[in-house]
Amino acid sequence: MVSNDEIKLRLECKKEGLDPDKTLGKIQVPYEWTGASYLFNFGSMPVEEVTSRIDKLLTKRGYSLEDGTLSHGVCIKLTYSGVCGDIPKLYRFEFEIYSSRGRTYFTITKSFKGLIMAMDKIWNGKNYLDSELEKIVNKIKYLKPFKGYLVCNKCNKYYKLQFGESPYDFTDKCECGGKLKYYENIDFLLK
Ligand SMILES: [Zn+2]
């Protein structure tokens, strides 16, 4: 099934005059199902950057940290349908962000624990976490920045990334000796 995020990106590709299939293949974070969890390879994107983006995504979806840290922890979300008599649903995932040989990886695993989740398993089926996990995966797939600007902190020269180019595929040094920093937009520079 094509997710809403993907539909939006396809439209954006067309607007930029790019082949959606080719471009989406290029900007997608490579991932695989290992049999127990999803494993994403964020390449040279720094751990702190991946951690902050994952944290934002999970917070926006209503998750909070039950245990651990923002880079290795367990997040939970409790939802109420609002229908009287319905029991709340508990979602729980274990995740980890780590670096290995200069690459940043992210893993996410379904996690069952406690009485509410045992009830959820009975009421909503053993795999009730799957559709929620699929939605999260569809977001994480496009969590790596692939448009925006690189701006030099010394001479203020900037480079506009082509749609599909990631700032992490470039050197962070400007020819003037300054450092290039990534920005989603540069309205602040053009004021
Ligand atoms: Zn410069």
49 CA → ligand 1 middle, Å: 23
69 CA → ligand 1 middle, Å: 36
Q: What is the C-alpha radius of gyration for the chain, rounded to an integer number of angstroms?
A: 20
Q: Which domains does the chain have, with CATH numbers?
A: 4-140 (3.30.530.50), 148-190 (no CATH)
- In the sheet that holds 148-152, the strands lie side by side as 158-161, 148-152, 180-183
187 CA → ligand 1 middle, Å: 18
151 CA → ligand 1 middle, Å: 8
51 CA → ligand 1 middle, Å: 28
152 CA → ligand 1 middle, Å: 5
pLDDT band at 69 (very low <50, low <70, confident <90, very high): very high
Residue-wise burial string across 121-148, b where 16 or more C-beta atoms lie within 10 A, e elsewhere: eeeeeeebbeebbeebeebbbbbbbbbb
The confidence score (pLDDT) of residue 68 equals 97
Q: What is the pLDDT of residues 44-59, one digit of tens each?
A: 999 999 999 999 999 9
pTM: 0.88
pLDDT band at 113 (very low <50, low <70, confident <90, very high): confident
- Range list of H helices, 62-141: 114-124, 128-140
183 CA → ligand 1 middle, Å: 15
Q: What is the pLDDT of residues 138-172, one digit of tens each?
A: 999 999 999 999 999 999 999 999 988 999 888 88
157 CA → ligand 1 middle, Å: 6
CB 16 within 8 A of CB 163: yes
* 84 pLDDT more than 80: no
173 CA → ligand 1 middle, Å: 8
Question: Can you give the length of the chain in residues?
Answer: 191
Residue 95, judged by CB atoms within 10 A of its CB (0-12, 13-18, 19+), counts as buried
